[in-house]
Amino acid sequence: MLSYKAPLRDMRFVRDELLGFPALFASLPGCEEFTPDLVDAILGEAARFCEDVLAPLYRSGDEEGCTWTPEGVRTPAGFREAYAQYVEGGWAALSTPPEYGGQGLPPSMGLFVEDMMGTANWAWTMYPGLSHGATRTLKVHGTDEQKQTYLRHLVSGEWTGTMCLTEAHAGSDLGMLRTRAEPHADGSYRITGTKIFISAGDHDMAANIVHIVLARLPDAPPGTKGISLFLVPKKLPQADGTLVPNSVSCGSIEHKMGINASATCVMNFDAATGFLIGEPNRGLNHMFTFMNAARLGTAMQGLAAAELSFQGALAYARERLQGRSLSGPKHASGPADPLIVHPNIRRMLLTQKAYAEGSRAFLYWLCQLVDIADKSADAAERKRAEDLMALLTPVAKAFVTEAGYEAANLGVQVFGGHGYVREHGMEQIVRDTRIALIYEGTSAIQALDLLGRKIMGSGGELLRGFAAIVEEFCAQNAGREDMAPLVAALTATGKRLEGLTMHVAGVAMKNPDEADAAAFEYLMFMGYFVLGFMWARMARTALDALAGGTGEADFYSAKVETARFYFQRIMPRTESLALCVEAGGATLMALPEAHFAL
C-alpha cells in the first residue's frame, strides 16, 4: 500500500537555493515577513495534514467513490471531516486577499501546499482546488456587490467554486455552447442549460457551491464572441444570511476511469438565478483568468503523479528480491538481489525522479513568476513575468502531465505483475492521472495555443524572451569544466528549437494545417528543453554546494547525477521529435478518409 512522505528537503532546495524565494519575498510589497523559517513552519504543518489526514483516504476514497442521491452527491467516508480540518486550519485562506479574510501570502505558497495535497490525494484536492480560480475571477471581474456577497465565504472555504464550460455537443469548441441567459427585471438572469464534466459540481463538504458559468445572452453574436460569464450559486444568499436553494441540480455523476472520489457532475440549470460577471459577450476573455489558474493547477497533477509513483516504486525496488545482477550477486547472503541493483530498474526510477524533481523546479519557477506578476511594484518586471507565464503555461500543462503519466506507468512496470493489481495502489495513480492530459485543454490544444497564439501570434517575441534567459545561463557557465557537457547540450538544443520554429512558421504560412501537424511534437520538444534548462540550473546549484563544503553531500551528488542522466538518456528524445516536426503533415493527410474504414 502506498505511503506518502512530503519531499520537504527537495521543496526547500528548489525554493531557497535554486530560485531564491527568500530574496523575492523580501522584495515584494507586503511579503517581507515571510522568512524561510516561517515558510518552513507553514509547509511543515501542511505536510503533516497531507501525510496524516489526506494520504490515508487516497485508496479508500477510490474504492468507495461518490454516490448520487436526490438530495445531492455524497463524498467518500472521511472526505467531509478532512475538509473541515482544512478549513479550520486556514489552508483555504492561505494565498487569498486579506480584504476578504484571507491571509495574503504570495500565490506561490498556495501552490507549494497544492504540491503536497495533490500528491497525497488528488481526488480530494480537486474539491477546494477550483475555488481559487473562482475567487480570482470574482476579484478581477466581479462587481463590488458580488465580491462582498461571495468572496469572504469562498476565501474561508465555507463555500467552494466550480468552472462550468463544457456541453455534451460542443466539447472544447466553446463557440458551440447553447446554455441561455435571459435577463430578468431585477437585473439578474435566468440561466438554462446543461453542463457536463463539472469537477466538484456537487458534494456534501461545503454549505454552498458557487458556479462560474458560460452562457449566451438573447442578442449574442454567434461563436466565441457571443459568450458571457455568470455567477450561479447552488443556494442564493439572503439578506439575513440564510441560503435558499437555486434551480441548480446534479443530474448524474460520471463513472470514470479514475479520480473516482472526485464528483464529476452533469449539472442542470433550470432557469436558475445568475448574475453577470464583467462585460456582456466578453465571458471567454474573463474566463481565462480562471482557466490559466486551472492549467497551472493541472500541471501540478503531473508532478504529483511522478512524485507519488516514484516514492512507491523506489520503496518496492529496495525491498523486492528478484533475480541476480548480471555482473554478480550484490546481496550474496540473500536468495536474490533487490530490484534496485538492475540497470533497467534504475532507468525507470531515474526517469521518474528526473520528471518529479525537474517538474517541481519548472512549476515552482512559474509560481515565482505568478508572485512577481501579482505583487511586484516594478511594471517592467510584471510585464516580463506575464510574458514568460503566457509562453510557458501551455508547456507546463501539457508536458508535465504527459511526463507524469509516463512516470506513473513506469511505477506499475517496476512492480511488474504486482503493479497491475489494486492492493499496491500503483495502478490507481495511472487511472487518476490519465485525465490530466485531457481536461483544462488537451495536450494538442495546449500545443496549438503555444505554437499559434503564443509564438506565431507574438511574432516570436515571447520565445525570444525565454531563449535569451537560457542563452545567458549558458554564457555564464561556458567556462566551467564541470558544466561543459550540460551547457553544450542545452546550447545545441536551443539552436535546434530556433531552427524548428522558423521551419514551422514558414510552412504554416503556406498551409495552416502544417501548424496543427507539428504542434504536439513541437510542444514536447520544448518541454524537454525547458526541463533540461531546469536540470542544468539544479546541477550548477548542487555543484556549487559541493565545492563549498556541505554536510549533505549525498543529496547534492544525487542532483548532479540525475542531471547527467537526464541529459544523456532523456534529452536526446528531442531529436526524434524534431524529425517528426520536419516531416510535416503530408503523411497525416495523404490517406483518404474513406480508406480509414475497417
What contacts 36, CB < 8 A, 6 or more positions away?
A: 12, 16, 22
- Concatenate the DSSP letters of all residues of 367-386 into one string: HHHHHHHHH-S-HHHHHHHH
Q: What is the mean pLDDT of residues 360-387?
A: 94
Task: Look up 514 and say whether it is catalytic.
Answer: no
pLDDT-based confidence at 294, cuts 50/70/90?
A: low
pLDDT-based confidence at 285, cuts 50/70/90?
A: confident
Secondary structure class of 341 (helix, strand, coil): helix
In sequence order, what are the beta bridge partners of 232?
211
Higher pLDDT, 245 or 298: 245
For the stretch 494-513, what's the b/e string if a residue is b when 16 or more beta carbons lie within 10 angstroms of its beta carbon? bebbeebbebbbebbeeeee
Q: What is the mean pLDDT of residues 417-445?
A: 95
pLDDT in tens, 148-193: 999 999 999 999 999 999 999 988 888 899 999 999 999 999 999 9
Report the pLDDT value the prediction gives residue 170, as an integer from 0 to 100. Answer: 86
Secondary structure class of 291 (helix, strand, coil): helix
Backbone φ and ψ for 358, nearest 5 degrees, come out as: -65, -40
Q: What is the mean pLDDT of residues 194-209?
A: 97
Closest CA relative to residue 125, chosen from 65, 67, 59, 199: 199
- Concatenate the DSSP letters of all residues of 306-336 into one string: HHHHHHHHHHHHHH-B-S--TTS-SSTTSSS
- Concatenate the DSSP letters of all residues of 193-240 into one string: EEEEEEETSS-SSSSEEEEEEEEB-TTPPSGGGG-EEEEEESEEEPTT
Backbone φ and ψ for 66, nearest 5 degrees, come out as: -95, 155
Alpha-carbon distance 467 to 502, whole Å? 14
What contacts 421, CB < 8 A, 6 or more positions away?
A: 427
Report the pLDDT value the prediction gives residue 174, as an integer from 0 to 100. Answer: 83
Lowest-pLDDT choice from 103-112, 152-161, 280-289, 297-306: 280-289
Task: Calculate helix-pair angle for 57-64, 426-434, nearest 10 degrees.
Answer: 70
Alpha-carbon distance 518 to 450, whole Å? 11
Alpha-carbon distance 316 to 311, whole Å? 9
Task: Count CB-CB contacts under 10 A for residue 304.
Answer: 30
In the chain, domain spans:
457-588
Report the pLDDT value the prediction gives residue 598, as an integer from 0 to 100. Answer: 74
pLDDT-based confidence at 292, cuts 50/70/90?
A: low
Please say if the pLDDT value at position 229 is more than 70.
Answer: yes
Active-site residue, from 440, 521, 552, 561: 440
Lowest-pLDDT choice from 13-22, 206-215, 501-510, 586-595: 586-595
Helix runs in 376-455, H state only: 379-395, 401-415, 417-420, 426-434, 443-448
29: exposed, middle or buried (Cβ count in 10 Å: 0-12, 13-18, 19+):
exposed
Q: What is the mean pLDDT of residues 473-487?
A: 97
Across the chain, mean pLDDT equals 95
Whole-prediction pTM: 0.96
Backbone φ and ψ for 159, nearest 5 degrees, come out as: -115, 155
